[in-house]
């Protein structure tokens, strides 16, 4: 049975967070056009992070929420606005070097300043995600589809581990590097859950999806179960076990009925 008080607190966290995301989108209108960045997307992102950290405050969730929204923006620019690999290379270089001021780099700079990471892990995960996004664009541009194994090895383009690293770092979690293997396995699970839910949209939008690589939906579901089992073994009862476990549980429920993106 659902605990009404706990559900109410999570919903309250999400409401406060969604207001913050709405304000940041309004501050960067060129980055967040009303289509597909609608209010439902802001609410859905906020709910996901609130359920992941139900004991946090709105302030403690701010980096995770803002970075999640930023990832949607860079994904939109790379997957749906860029037409050539050179455009993607420019986006990657601008984000990694900060040599050019743009709406994308301005919002990233706000997030980077709040994370205040002195270890270099934030920058490393940023690079890993952006290069994974570039790799997927190159696959689509060449018309040479990857194997499912290669596709999952590139799951850093999903961005959930990057968000985890930023969230943990901002909130003073210790031993973040040791959490990355489990986070990456969870990331693969989330990637496939997303693909099952968004196959029809991905076909119409021209996105890559695991179901385009040969496996049937039931095979993907079986692969999710295998990956989830491996992830749970890595997570064990160690630090952040509840946090990572909730990511799998929440996403398996959410993607059964909804998606994040609004209409194009």
Which pLDDT score is estimated for 262?
64
CA distance 48 to 169: 19
Six-digit token pair at 31?
């980055």
CA atoms within 13 A on the CB side of 3: 6
Six-digit token pair at 12?
């309250």
Phi-psi region of 159 (alpha: psi -120 to 50; beta: other; left: phi over 0): left
Is 188:152 a contact under the CB 8 Å cutoff?
Answer: yes
Which pLDDT score is estimated for 237?
86
Which pLDDT score is estimated for 153?
98
Which pLDDT score is estimated for 261?
79
CA distance 227 to 134: 24
Which pLDDT score is estimated for 263?
66
Which pLDDT score is estimated for 211?
95
Q: pLDDT 10s digit of each residue in the chain, 264 long?
A: 568 998 899 999 999 999 999 999 999 999 999 889 999 999 999 999 999 999 999 999 999 999 999 999 999 999 989 999 999 999 999 999 987 789 999 999 999 999 999 999 999 999 999 999 999 999 999 999 999 999 999 999 999 999 999 999 999 999 999 999 999 999 999 999 999 999 988 888 888 999 999 999 999 999 999 999 999 999 888 779 999 999 999 999 998 888 887 666
Which pLDDT score is estimated for 264?
62
CA distance 112 to 106: 10
CA atoms within 13 A on the CB side of 168: 24
User: Residues for the chain: how many in total?
Assistant: 264
Helices (H), the chain: 4-27, 39-52, 58-76, 85-97, 103-115, 121-142, 148-153, 160-170, 176-205, 217-235, 241-254
Which pLDDT score is estimated for 206?
85
Query: Which residue is listed with tokens 């696959």?
Result: 139
Least Cα distance to 52 among 62, 43, 61 occurs for 61
Which pLDDT score is estimated for 2?
64
Is 65:17 a contact under the CB 8 Å cutoff?
Answer: yes
């Amino acid at each position: 049975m659902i605990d009404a008080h706990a559900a109410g607190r999570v919903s309250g966290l999400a409401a406060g967070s969604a207001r913050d995301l709405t304000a940041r989108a309004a501050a960067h209108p060129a980055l967040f056009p009303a289509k597909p960045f609608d209010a439902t997307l802001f609410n859905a992102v906020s709910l996901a992070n609130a359920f992941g950290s139900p004991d946090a405050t709105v302030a403690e969730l701010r980096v995770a929420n803002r970075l999640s929204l930023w990832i949607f923006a860079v994904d939109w620019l790379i997957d749906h606005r860029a037409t050539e690999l050179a455009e993607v290379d420019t986006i990657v270089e601008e984000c990694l070097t900060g040599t050019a001021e743009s709406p994308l780099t301005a919002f990233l700079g706000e997030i980077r300043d709040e994370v205040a990471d002195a270890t270099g892990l934030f920058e490393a995960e940023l690079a890993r995600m952006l290069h994974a996004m570039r790799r997927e664009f190159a696959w689509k541009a060449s018309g040479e589809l990857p194997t499912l194994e290669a596709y999952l090895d590139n799951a850093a383009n999903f961005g959930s581990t990057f968000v985890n690293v930023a969230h943990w770092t901002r909130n003073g979690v210790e031993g973040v590097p040791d959490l990355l293997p489990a986070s990456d396995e969870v990331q693969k699970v989330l990637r496939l859950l997303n693909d099952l839910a968004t196959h029809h949209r991905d076909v119409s939008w021209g996105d890559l999806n695991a179901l385009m690589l040969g496996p049937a939906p039931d095979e993907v579901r079986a692969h999710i179960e295998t990956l989830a089992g491996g992830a749970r073994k890595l997570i064990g009862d160690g630090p952040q076990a509840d946090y990572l476990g909730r990511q799998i549980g929440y996403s398996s429920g959410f993607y059964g009925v909804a998606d994040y993106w609004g209409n194009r």
